[in-house]
Structure 1
Amino acid sequence: MLNVSSHGDWPAGYLINPCAPSLSGQWHEAFEGMPTAIVSDSLGRNAGGLGLKPYHGLRHLCGTALTVRVRPGDNLMVLKAIQMARPGDVLVIDGSADLSRAVIGGIMRAMAIKAGIAGVVINGAIRDREEWLDGELPVYALGYVHRGPSTDGGGEINVPLVCAGMLVNPGDLIVGDADGVVAVSAEELPKIHARCAELLDREAAILKAVASGDLDPTRFDELLRSKGCPI
């Protein structure tokens, strides 16, 4: 971990901040397996990445955000971020949605697994797609391509960024599943977890009513009437 006294200590185009406190333990366990749809609903249905696809199968993702902003098609700062990462961290990489070059592939995947990284989320492309399919390391990206990256730098580590339309701050909790990826700020975790539990209980009750045939048949008619529809 590097200690940074000011932005001005770094040459133009480079910045490496210390990692935010890890959320490993309580919150990783609390949100492990939590559907992103439930988390998204708890955040007002207006949060999370758009266009991110899982390339690892169906394994759930949950971990602490370590953010990386790179120049399109370059991965020098991603390599440095892997060195800095702690077990349970998720690399969230803003590659400017560039799909002409991958910023991470099989070798870096092996490095990330060795470091105990929980997953990778990329506003950009991966390569060596077949290696990711074993599911050992969750990865979400906008696409894949055979063209490899440069390692010329610059970039920034542990800064706020936007990844596929999703605002991510260092230290956010990142949750991913087959539907996509959502970020939750550390300060909101108690409130959002409580809301998720309420929604899960509500969904379970609705599904039970559907299965038993007890779902109120007038429910949607009443909703339409409340909107002025003459049902």
Structure 2
Amino acid sequence: MTESGLRIEPRVQGLSEQQRGAFAGLPVAALSDCMGRCTGTMNLVPRHGSTPLVGNAVTVRTRPGDNLMIHKAFALLQAGDVLVVDGGGACDNALVGDLMMQMAQRQRMAGFVIDGAVRDVAAFRHAGFPCYSRGVTHRGPHKDGPGEINTVVTIDGMVVFPGDLIVADADGVLSIRPDDAAGVLERAIRHVEKEKAFSAAVANDAVDRAWVDARIASLRGGRP
């Protein structure tokens, strides 16, 4: 369906379960460090506790406070998918809540990323079902449209394409293009090992700070 404002595009497959599993346990901070430190969300908060999130993006753009197209998207969602909703950052009306969480669990979805508000946060915490949102409100959604499914969206300034890999933890949410995933993964694994080595140096009072003076000297034009 190609009508602007009511566009519904096919689901994009994204990474396999095995490929996604390779990212499990990697901190978002480490991944972010390997992606230029200039992407990812800053204002979305986990509403479920500490369970991390890894899955493929199914995107929805909706009018603020309206979840008609979110309901429609459930017909396309598969196990391991993340429902990524561009609600314009509006928090006057919740876009998902407990009942939609139950449907998502039934379909073995990975979680929700909502640039808008959610409700029933106690249910999300109790279930531990990954849900990241900009806000919380008890006020329910409208169901009038318009909206689009599986088009490019913007989530808290982060561009998300359908099929992108979504990785999230207590620090925030990242979107990784499938073609970039292998390279990001390789660099992030090395980065984590480097941080482990630094932690070991801290524990042994063996931190090398020579680079700090070298950096200051370079800023001074080579002068100590």
Normalising to structure 1: TM-score of the pair? 0.93
Which consecutive unaligned segments of at least 5 residues does structure 2 have? none
In 1, Cα distance between the equivalents of 2:142 and 2:64?
9
User: Aligned letter for 2:35?
Assistant: L
Aligned to 1:85, what secondary structure does the other structure show?
coil
Contact 2:17 2:80 in 1 (8 A): no
1:211 corresponds in structure 2 to 203
1:7-49 per-position Cα deviation (integer Å, ceiling 9, x unaligned) = 2xx3x52011110014232221110121110111111000101
Aligned length: 223
Secondary structure of the 2:71 match is: helix
In 2, Cα distance between equivalents of 1:163 and 1:180: 12
Contact 2:58 2:77 in 1 (8 A): yes
How much does 1:217 deviate? 3.5
Is the CA contact (8 Å cut-off) linking 2:28 and 2:172 kept in structure 1? yes
Q: How far apart are the structure 1 equivalents of 2:185 and 2:29?
A: 13
* Cα distance in 2 between the residues matched to 1:184 and 1:160: 13
**TM-score, length basis structure 2:** 0.96
| 1:31 matched to 2:19 | no
Spell out, residue by residue over 1:70-105, the C-alpha distance to the aligned partner (whole angstroms, 9 max, x if none).
000000111111221000000000000001000111
Other-structure match for 1:104: 96
Partner of 2:166: 174
Q: Give the distance between the partners of 1:141 and 1:135, measured in 2 at CA.
A: 16
Structure 2 partner of 1:222: 214
Give me the whole-angstrom Cα distance separating, in 2, the residues matched to 1:133 and 1:31: 23
2:48 aligned partner: 56
Match of 2:156 in 1: 164
Query: Could you tell me which amino acid in structure 2 is paired with residue 69 of structure 1?
Result: R
Aligned partner of 1:152: which letter? D
Aligned 8 A contact 2:51 2:130 in 1: yes
Match of 1:65 among 27, 42, 57: 57
Structure 1 unaligned residues grouped into runs of 5+: none
Deviations 1:169-228 (A, max 9, x none): 000000000000000000001111111011111111111111111111323112211111
| CA deviations over 1:122-141 (Å, ceiling 9, x no partner) | 11000111111124310000
The amino acid that maps onto 2:140 is G
State percent identity of aligned pairs: 41
Amino acid at match of 1:61: L
